[in-house]
């Protein structure tokens, strides 16, 4: 069986981890927003904006890490827009989210055309290079798969732990979770629900933008239209799949990425000549839907997700 | 209350309006250290609003709040907490999916603190639990706790912050008599520690039992104040109501033919709550049947069967003398069954709908309110305005969302909606829960009047006094089984209490079925 053989190649797992990385950033971002009670459908557009902003910054001469920070700041600004409309004004989170996606996507394309009016193919940058972690990268199979990635991938995995620690081990994380469960409880303890929710949406949006920047600065070295290609929507599903927990969301992201990496490879096997390649393209999505159905039955949705909170109303 | 008393808190001429409704009109109040002041008033009198202003959840239109001599900035809960004011809300402000400890420690530390200090917090909660007799499991999820336990968590939340002034909003409304006694014991311990307490209630005997001083609100204004040792329940009731309150007279019943009967009805258990076990019951015209029992013994199943929400797995529902083949809420409503649901917020009303929409909610299809699939708003509005007028529903107008009404006024609208349809059968499930005396007497007198014009009434209540006062015939429900029928005055409360505890069924199984 060729498929079994594929599963035991380091290059397959390396690809899976690489494909998972942007999903991890953005899923963590969405998870933070939703844990605070705000559904952020601006994710797709914010990833586009982050992809462009980070790449453009590096193209204009900044360092790679500065580029990541620029992407983060751009994401946070869109998060500020989103949360201003949804938190203090309490507007529909669906409508605002889709609006932010449309605005972020189209204004990014506009900015691209303004910045590079003449070019036919987008210029390349010197992207993040794989960094082999000494000793660990020599482990057979695991080493090349896990420990020969770019620094941004390592950052994604570290962030899963950091977000998990903050959410469950700090007063700040407790306040964020409580804001998503019962904002009245937060207000009754003298905290500002508005500040907590806006802060969570801004940080979350910043992470989404870094997820987008991963595409132009680590996975590829250039910016294309349509390159985010629905990854944001996948992350919304991954948050549900992960039951709003960072660890499980990481698992979901890697699983989805593994399906994706697998289908590309299966296309090149003997099966690929028999079956139209579109079937393989569908595979990760179909499997995700099934996994989602199985997992989300037990999911514990934050009780106040999408419920606006207005102090002093009864 | 001696001359040397230290003032802990004072509210000065607080005024607050919601739209056209003046909830508080120049209300002043002060509390001394170590003193319990009861805030007494009917529903909608403005008690909760006043406390929410004190706690910074609402901003007053005018007036000031002073705590230990310092004026609190308006609309700032944090400042109130920092000044030592804690509040136990009537509708608990707890997050169900978080643990007890997480709820208690939320927001106590700086949000920039890198650690939750789990162990230290747990030790402190254990110490406070011990000291104030508030038993809780710190790692339990709040969603799994009983109402009484949740209230203990709310109180611990305040004590954890070292509050000096504790506000309790209708704390006993959700408690059993036993739990109320425990709460009072806790409060006495708190007073001994030098705390000051504001106790909001409309239950006169509780106010007399726990408070040093009583302040009475009526229609948002101060109606009077008294020291409990210088007054009595009648005087307080008069202050609260504006006139002497007395329960409605009960005339002898003239029972007619059975209108609705359950024959050997069985329903499935729901989790740990039992369903009905082969229950037979007849609701006769002109008679009130009372269903007594401890909460969670099958009352909900009984109510759901009568309301058409639940079809028996075994046994029959009979209307008149015919067995009903298909049973649904719509058929029940069309057959003349009117329902006062147990939870007026969840199943009785739709919070964001206005009074007109809520008034026609059950009967919008009736020709009274619609024709050819189009609603007749003019008639609907007239109907709602009629209820508001006749049942004294206090509200700014019929186009107000019903969530802005107090519980008592909401219940009056539901009562009007039920009674104005001229129902044959009335299902009254906990009809006076959370209401003040005035509203209680009013609801009771309306149910008696409906009985006297020939309606069959099923009264389900956890309050044995209410069941005994109103019912012509009493059944006790325990673990899904129904006791035989007891006539008015046949049983003492103690005897009924034994049936409620499940005794009697064993010695009398033949009779009970």
Q: What is the pLDDT of residues B71-92, one digit of tens each?
A: 999 888 889 999 999 999 888 8
> Is the domain of B162 the same as that of B82?
yes
Question: For the range B76-79, what are the long-range contacts, defined as Cβ-Cβ under 8 Å and sequence gap of 24 or more?
Answer: B77/A187, B77/A188, B77/A189, B77/A190, B78/A190, B78/A191, B79/A190
**Interface contact A186-B106, CB threshold 8 A:** yes
Q: Dihedral sign, CA of A212, A218, A224, A226?
A: negative
**Interface contact B89-A188, CB threshold 8 A:** yes
**pLDDT band for position A154 (50/70/90)?**
very high
> Is the domain of B37 the same as that of B169?
yes
Residues of A in contact with B81 (CB under 8 A): 189-190
Is B290 within 8 Å of B253 (Cβ atoms)? no
**Interface contact B57-A187, CB threshold 8 A:** yes
Last residue of a domain, one of B374, B391, B422: B422
pLDDT in tens, A246-301: 999 999 999 999 989 988 888 888 887 888 888 888 888 888 788 778 877 777 78
Rounded to 5°, the CA angle B131-B137-B138 comes to 90
Q: Which residue has the higher pLDDT, A94 or B77?
A: A94
* Helix H or strand E encompassing B260: strand B258-266
Residues of B in contact with A190 (CB under 8 A): 77-82, 107
Q: Which residue has the higher pLDDT, B84 or A312?
A: B84
Q: Please report whether residue B341 resides in a domain.
A: no
**Interface contact A314-B89, CB threshold 8 A:** no
Partners of B266 in the beta sheet?
B314
* CA A197/CA A88 separation, integer angstroms: 10
**Interface contact B111-A189, CB threshold 8 A:** no
Residues of B in contact with A311 (CB under 8 A): 57, 75
Question: Chain A within 8 Å of B106 (Cβ-Cβ)?
Answer: yes
Q: What are the φ and ψ backbone dihedral angles of A10, each rounded to 5 degrees?
A: -65, -35
**Partner residue facing B98 (CB), from A171, A177, A188:** A177
- Calculate how close chain B gets to A197, using CA atoms only, in Å: 13
Q: What is the pLDDT of residue B340?
A: 92
**Interface contact A174-B116, CB threshold 8 A:** yes
> Is the domain of B331 the same as that of B389?
no
Is A232 within 8 Å of A221 (Cβ atoms)? no
Partners of B166 in the beta sheet?
B86, B197
How would you class A61 by CB atoms within 10 Å of its CB: exposed for 0-12, middle for 13-18, buried for 19 or more?
exposed
Question: Chain B within 8 Å of A140 (Cβ-Cβ)?
Answer: no
Question: Chain A within 8 Å of B57 (Cβ-Cβ)?
Answer: yes
Is the pLDDT reported for residue A100 higher than 60? yes
> Is the domain of B123 the same as that of B253?
no
**Interface contact A189-B157, CB threshold 8 A:** yes
Question: Chain B within 8 Å of A191 (Cβ-Cβ)?
Answer: yes
Q: Please report whether residue B346 resides in a domain.
A: no
Q: What is the pLDDT of residue B243?
A: 59
**pLDDT band for position A6 (50/70/90)?**
confident
pLDDT in tens, B57-68: 888 999 999 999
Q: Which residue has the higher pLDDT, A312 or B147?
A: B147
Residues of chain B with pLDDT under 70: 1-4, 43, 174, 176-177, 243-246, 272, 434, 436, 506-513
Average pLDDT value for chain A:
92
**Which domains are assigned to chain A?**
2-114+151-296 (1.10.3470)
Question: Chain A within 8 Å of B98 (Cβ-Cβ)?
Answer: yes
**Interface contact B107-A190, CB threshold 8 A:** yes
Q: What is the pLDDT of residue B510?
A: 43
Residue A294 token pair: 């199985």
Q: Is residue B463 left, alpha or beta, with left meaning phi > 0 and alpha meaning psi from -120 to 50?
A: beta
> Is the domain of B132 the same as that of B93?
yes
Test the A interface: residue of B16, B75, B83, B106 with most A CBs within 10 Å: B106
Q: What are the φ and ψ backbone dihedral angles of B361, each rounded to 5 degrees?
A: -50, -40
**Interface contact B110-A171, CB threshold 8 A:** yes
Is A34 within 8 Å of A197 (Cβ atoms)? no
Closest to B18 in 3D by CA, of B217, B220, B199, B215: B220
Q: What are the φ and ψ backbone dihedral angles of B290, each rounded to 5 degrees?
A: -100, 140
> Is the domain of B11 the same as that of B72?
yes
Q: Please report whether residue B1 resides in a domain.
A: no
Question: Chain A within 8 Å of B75 (Cβ-Cβ)?
Answer: yes
Q: What is the CA radius of gyration of chain B?
A: 25
- Between β-strands B165-169 and B279-284, what pairing exists: parallel, antiparallel or unpaired? unpaired
In B49-185, DSSP assigns E strands to: 62-67, 70-71, 85-88, 165-169
**Partner residue facing A175 (CB), from B81, B111, B115:** B111
Partners of B16 in the beta sheet?
B24
**Cβ–Cβ contacts within 10 Å for residue A1, how many?**
7
Is B484 within 8 Å of B491 (Cβ atoms)? no
**Interface contact B75-A312, CB threshold 8 A:** yes
Q: Please report whether residue B345 resides in a domain.
A: no
Torsion angle defined by CA atoms of residues B154, B105, B73 and B216, in that order, rounded to the nearest 10 degrees: 10
**Cβ–Cβ contacts within 10 Å for residue B242, how many?**
12
- Calculate how close chain B gets to A280, using CA atoms only, in Å: 40
- Calculate how close chain B gets to A287, using CA atoms only, in Å: 30
> Is the domain of B413 the same as that of B369?
yes
Closest to B15 in 3D by CA, of B43, B46, B56, B44: B46
**pLDDT band for position A137 (50/70/90)?**
confident
> Is the domain of B217 the same as that of B324?
no
Q: What are the φ and ψ backbone dihedral angles of A150, each rounded to 5 degrees?
A: -80, 160
> Is the domain of B259 the same as that of B307?
yes
Residues of B in contact with A175 (CB under 8 A): 106-107, 111
* CA B391/CA B442 separation, integer angstroms: 9
Question: Chain A within 8 Å of B266 (Cβ-Cβ)?
Answer: no
Q: Dihedral sign, CA of B273, B276, B281, B286?
A: positive
Total count of residues recorded for chain B: 513
- Between β-strands B36-41 and B370-371, what pairing exists: parallel, antiparallel or unpaired? unpaired
**Cβ–Cβ contacts within 10 Å for residue B126, how many?**
12
Q: How many domains does chain B have?
A: 3
Question: Chain B within 8 Å of A215 (Cβ-Cβ)?
Answer: no
Residue range(s) defining the domain that contains residue B398: 351-422
**Partner residue facing A185 (CB), from B18, B82, B103:** B103
Last residue of a domain, one of B241, B261, B281: B241
Q: Please report whether residue B380 resides in a domain.
A: yes
Residues of A in contact with B94 (CB under 8 A): 182, 185
Question: Chain A within 8 Å of B81 (Cβ-Cβ)?
Answer: yes
Question: Chain A within 8 Å of B102 (Cβ-Cβ)?
Answer: yes
Q: Which residue has the higher pLDDT, B404 or A179?
A: A179
Closest to B138 in 3D by CA, of B158, B159, B124: B124
Test the A interface: residue of B75, B93, B402 with most A CBs within 10 Å: B93
**Partner residue facing A175 (CB), from B89, B106, B115:** B106
Residue B346 token pair: 């969840």
Q: What is the CA radius of gyration of chain A?
A: 20
- Between β-strands B258-266 and B314-319, what pairing exists: parallel, antiparallel or unpaired? antiparallel
**Interface contact B81-A190, CB threshold 8 A:** yes
Residue of A nearest to B74 (CA): A312
Q: Please report whether residue B342 resides in a domain.
A: no
* CA A238/CA A257 separation, integer angstroms: 11
> Is the domain of B233 the same as that of B204?
yes
Q: Say what the pTM is.
A: 0.78
* CA A71/CA A209 separation, integer angstroms: 6
* CA B434/CA B340 separation, integer angstroms: 14
* CA A170/CA B286 separation, integer angstroms: 63
> Is the domain of B363 the same as that of B250?
no
Test the A interface: residue of B84, B107, B115 with most A CBs within 10 Å: B107
Last residue of a domain, one of B391, B422, B453: B422
Non-local (6+) Cβ contacts of A286 within 8 A are none
Whose tokens are 């001083």? That residue is B213
> Is the domain of B361 the same as that of B296?
no
Enter the ipTM. Answer: 0.87
**Interface contact A314-B403, CB threshold 8 A:** yes
* CA A95/CA B501 separation, integer angstroms: 55
**Interface contact A187-B111, CB threshold 8 A:** no
- Calculate how close chain A gets to B124, using CA atoms only, in Å: 17
In B75-220, DSSP assigns E strands to: 85-88, 165-169, 196-201, 213-218
Residue B382 token pair: 């007239």
Give the domain CATH number at B204. 3.40.50.300
* CA B374/CA A138 separation, integer angstroms: 76
Q: What is the pLDDT of residue B512?
A: 41
Test the B interface: residue of A190, A191, A308 with most B CBs within 10 Å: A190
Question: Chain A within 8 Å of B144 (Cβ-Cβ)?
Answer: no
């Amino acid at each position: 069986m060729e498929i079994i053989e594929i599963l035991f190649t380091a290059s397959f797992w390396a690809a899976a981890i690489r494909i998972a990385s942007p999903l991890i950033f953005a899923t963590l971002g969405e998870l933070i927003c939703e844990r605070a009670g705000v559904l952020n459908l601006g994710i797709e557009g914010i990833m586009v904006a982050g992809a462009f902003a980070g790449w453009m910054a590096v193209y204009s001469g900044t360092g790679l890490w500065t580029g990541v920070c620029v992407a983060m700041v751009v994401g946070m600004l869109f998060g500020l827009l989103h949360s201003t409309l949804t938190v203090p004004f309490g507007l529909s989170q669906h409508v605002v989210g889709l609006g932010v996606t449309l605005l972020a996507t189209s204004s990014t394309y506009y900015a691209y055309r303004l910045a590079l009016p003449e070019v036919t193919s987008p210029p390349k940058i010197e992207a993040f290079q794989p960094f082999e972690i000494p000793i660990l990268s020599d482990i057979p199979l695991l080493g090349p798969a896990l420990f020969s990635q770019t620094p941004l991938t390592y950052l994604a995995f570290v962030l899963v732990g950091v977000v998990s620690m903050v959410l469950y081990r700090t007063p700040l994380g407790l306040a964020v979770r409580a804001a998503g469960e019962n904002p009245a409880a937060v207000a009754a303890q003298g905290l500002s629900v508005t500040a907590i929710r806006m802060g969570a949406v801004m940080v979350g949006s910043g992470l989404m933008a870094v997820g987008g920047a991963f595409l132009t600065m680590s996975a590829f070295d250039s910016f294309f239209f349509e390159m985010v290609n629905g990854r944001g929507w996948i992350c919304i599903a991954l948050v549900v799949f992960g039951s709003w927990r960072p660890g499980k969301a990481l698992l979901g992201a890697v699983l989805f990425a593994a399906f994706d990496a697998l289908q590309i490879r299966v296309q090149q096997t003997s099966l690929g000549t028999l079956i139209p390649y579109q079937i393989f393209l569908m595979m990760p999505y179909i499997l995700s839907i099934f996994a989602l159905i199985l997992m989300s039955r037990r999911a514990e949705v934050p009780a106040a997700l999408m419920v606006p909170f207005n102090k002093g109303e009864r | 209350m001696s001359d040397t008393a230290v003032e802990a808190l004072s509210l000065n001429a607080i005024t607050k309006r919601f739209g056209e409704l003046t909830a508080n009109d120049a209300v002043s109040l002060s509390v001394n250290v170590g003193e319990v002041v009861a805030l007494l008033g009917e529903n909608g009198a403005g008690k909760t609003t006043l406390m929410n202003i004190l706690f910074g959840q609402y901003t007053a239109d005018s007036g000031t709040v002073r705590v230990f001599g310092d004026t609190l900035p308006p609309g700032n809960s944090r400042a109130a907490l920092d000044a030592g004011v804690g509040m136990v809300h009537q509708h608990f402000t707890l997050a169900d999916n978080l643990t007890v400890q997480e709820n208690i420690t939320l927001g106590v530390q700086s949000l920039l603190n890198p650690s939750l200090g789990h162990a230290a917090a747990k030790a402190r909660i254990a110490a406070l639990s011990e000291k104030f007799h508030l038993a809780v499991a710190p790692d339990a999820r709040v969603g799994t706790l009983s109402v009484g336990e949740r209230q203990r968590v709310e109180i611990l939340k305040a004590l954890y912050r070292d509050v000096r002034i504790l506000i309790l909003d209708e704390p006993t409304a959700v408690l059993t008599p036993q739990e109320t006694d425990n709460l009072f014991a806790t409060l006495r311990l708190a007073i001994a520690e030098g705390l000051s307490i504001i106790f909001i209630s409309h239950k006169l005997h509780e106010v007399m039992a726990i408070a040093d001083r009583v302040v009475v609100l009526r229609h948002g204004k101060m109606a009077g104040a008294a020291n409990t040792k210088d007054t009595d329940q009648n005087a307080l009731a008069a202050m609260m109501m504006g006139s002497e309150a007395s329960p409605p007279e009960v005339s002898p019943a003239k029972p007619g033919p059975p209108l609705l009967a359950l024959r050997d009805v069985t329903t499935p258990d729901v989790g740990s709550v039992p369903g009905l076990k082969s229950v037979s019951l007849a609701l006769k015209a002109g008679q009130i049947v009372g269903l007594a029992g401890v909460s969670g013994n099958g009352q909900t199943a009984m109510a759901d069967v009568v309301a058409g929400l639940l079809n028996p797995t075994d046994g029959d529902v009979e209307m008149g003398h015919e067995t009903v083949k298909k049973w649904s809420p719509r058929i029940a409503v069309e057959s003349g069954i009117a329902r006062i649901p147990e939870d007026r917020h969840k199943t009785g009303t739709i919070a964001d709908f206005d009074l007109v929409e809520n008034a026609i909610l059950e009967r919008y299809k009736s020709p009274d309110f619609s024709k050819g699939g189009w609603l007749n708003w003019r008639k609907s509005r007239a109907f709602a305005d009629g209820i508001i007028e006749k049942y004294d529903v206090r509200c700014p107008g019929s186009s107000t969302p019903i969530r802005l009404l107090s519980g008592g006024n909401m219940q009056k609208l539901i009562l009007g909606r039920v009674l104005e349809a001229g129902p044959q059968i009335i299902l009254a499930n906990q009809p006076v829960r959370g209401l003040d005396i005035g509203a209680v007497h009013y609801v009771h007198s309306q149910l008696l009047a409906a009985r006297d014009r020939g309606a069959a009434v099923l009264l389900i209540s956890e309050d044995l006094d209410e069941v005994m006062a109103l019912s012509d015939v009493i059944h006790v429900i325990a673990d899904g089984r129904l006791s035989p029928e007891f006539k008015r005055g046949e049983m003492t409360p103690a005897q009924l209490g034994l049936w409620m505890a499940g005794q009697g069924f064993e010695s009398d199984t033949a009779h009970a079925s």
